[in-house]
Chains A and B, each alone.
Chain A
């Protein structure tokens, strides 16, 4: 049974933390960090060649986490694998005891560190969810019978600051139809964004984990505003970072405050913390958030 699913279904405020596999064969640092999360997170969400950069695979890291008694979320994008490889990955994940799966389109190879790679996109995020759902029924996408089938608590992503938002909502509903039971959002910084998004999605029967990326500096905030689709850090937060003697600490504080406010106002079912290379700070964010 997925702990993440149980937590969400019981109405607990769920916490997941994102962790990337290493670029290389040395998993020790990543696993040490994962152990510091302990039981303070419901699941550790392992990226699948995040930002199209080559790393060890998500599944290997998920297996290593399971061996440590931690619960992973396996991310699968459509970028690198066709439907044979995606379904195969899911069967392998089922064998290893992975209980949660997050389906993503995947960034295009040209934005990554092997930009000449052939993009696949045989299945889009909706197709990946469909594949997981059909495998759970005991057959593959072509209807061939399986010897044992995997069953995942399925998730997907959504960008609350997307313009036009209607287009995100239409796709979100398709993802729900295809089997998504929870969503994690692109990083949010403005409580008003989630107030609006909550209102727009109140008719949907799903769970929403708000994406939290702790800011490390005013420069990082400005860079993300300029370059990362769907991210909007308000000026007053940039000023706080600029005026701080310890912007990393300030960023952790900002993240903690946002989580507290989201929780108090009941604007989501949990949070998904993406520390992008500063995962050791995740317990500090949880301290700030009182989690």
Chain B
């Protein structure tokens, strides 16, 4: 899931300095789960904007704000409001904001900061687990990602910076490499740590990345 969080309200108001009539959009997927762009949040934000003297003409929560066609369908439903509005604020992830922005002729502002690809540990608690590095190493590391969970994304084992199993960068975080070592010990796979891992080939993950399955018959292993 893409974890996002509302921007400070003052920052959003800053975007809207010269806009009176506003449309709000959210997202029915990740941003709803993060309480940053579901219906309840948009209702609350609408009230705050109105208190600040803005007119909120409409709000929608597209099923998936990063799906171009679904967003197009939902924007059509509020076409009149969009035609009248000065600006849209999108409370989706950064992708969802751009999916809206490319379909309208008025400014679209982000209402959220997009934080990370994360796991829902429990309701309201998220942690970063994958950085979409394009070349998954989990098979060598006991299912624990060093690219994400080691602050230095080290591939060949820990730095000397762990203290009592915690990371030097943030002592609330476990040292990923100690977790990996303990897990591989359990799995009887410590031998996987002894081989040198070559530096990552970043040319393979130069962004922006695209994937097109339309001519290849799908994404499954052939």
Interface residue stretch chosen among A29-37, A165-173, A212-220: A165-173
Indicate if the CB atoms of B160 and A124 lie closer than 8 Å: no
Q: Is A111 an interface residue (CB 8 A)?
A: yes
Assess whether A223 is interfacial by the CB under 8 Å rule.
no
Which residues of the partner chain A approach B200 to less than 8 Å between Cβ atoms?
122
B-facing residues in A221-237 (Cβ within 8 Å): 227, 229-230
Contact of A123 among B161, B163, B165, B199 (CB under 8 A): B199
Please tell me if B69 contacts chain A, counting CB pairs below 8 Å. Answer: no
- The minimal Cβ–Cβ distance linking B6 to chain A, given in whole angstroms, is 23
Closest-by-CB residue of B relative to A170 is B193
Within the complex, what minimum Cβ distance (angstroms) separates A75 from chain B? 14
With A105-B159, A107-B161 in contact, do A124 and B152 touch (Cβ < 8 Å)?
yes
A73-116 at interface with B (beta carbon < 8 Å): 78-79, 83, 105-108, 110-111
A162-B177 contact in complex given A123-B199, A229-B168, C-beta closer than 8 Å: no
Q: Tell me the residues in window 155-202 of chain B with beta carbons closer than 8 Å to chain A beta carbons.
A: 155-165, 168-169, 177-178, 181, 190, 193-194, 196-200, 202
Given A108-B152, A173-B194, check contact A167 B168 (CB 8 Å).
no
A111 adjacent to B168 (CB under 8 Å):
yes
B156-A127 in contact (CB<8A): yes
Question: Given A83-B199, A124-B152 in contact, is the A170-B157 Cβ separation under 8 Å?
Answer: yes
Question: Whole-angstrom distance from the CB of A224 to the nearest CB of chain B?
Answer: 11
Q: Give the complex CA separation of A44 and B2 in angstroms.
A: 49
Residue of B nearest to A108 (CB): B169
Indicate if the CB atoms of B160 and A108 lie closer than 8 Å: no
B154: interface (CB < 8 Å): yes
Residues of B within 8 A of A124 (CB): 152, 154-156, 199
Selected contact of A122 from candidates B165, B169, B202, CB within 8 Å: B202
Nearest CB on B from A111, distance (A): 6
Is the beta-carbon distance between B177 and A167 smaller than 8 angstroms?
Answer: yes
Task: Give the complex CA separation of A79 and B168 in angstroms.
Answer: 14
CB of B7 to closest CB in A, whole Å: 19
Contact A157 B153 (CB under 8 A): no
Closest to B165 in A: A163
Q: Which of B162, B163, B199 is packed against the most chain A CB atoms within 10 Å? A: B199
Q: Which chain A residue has the least Cβ–Cβ distance from B193?
A: A170
Complex Cα distance, B116 from A187, in Å, reads: 37
Check B160–A166 contact: CB distance below 8 A: no
Most buried by B among A110, A162, A164, A167: A167
Residues on B with C-beta less than 8 A from A227 are 163
Known contacts A163-B165, A170-B193, then 15 further A-B pairs from the complex at CB < 8 Å, ordered by chain A residue: A78-B152, A79-B152, A105-B154, A108-B161, A108-B168, A111-B169, A124-B154, A124-B199, A127-B198, A164-B178, A167-B177, A167-B178, A167-B193, A174-B156, A229-B168
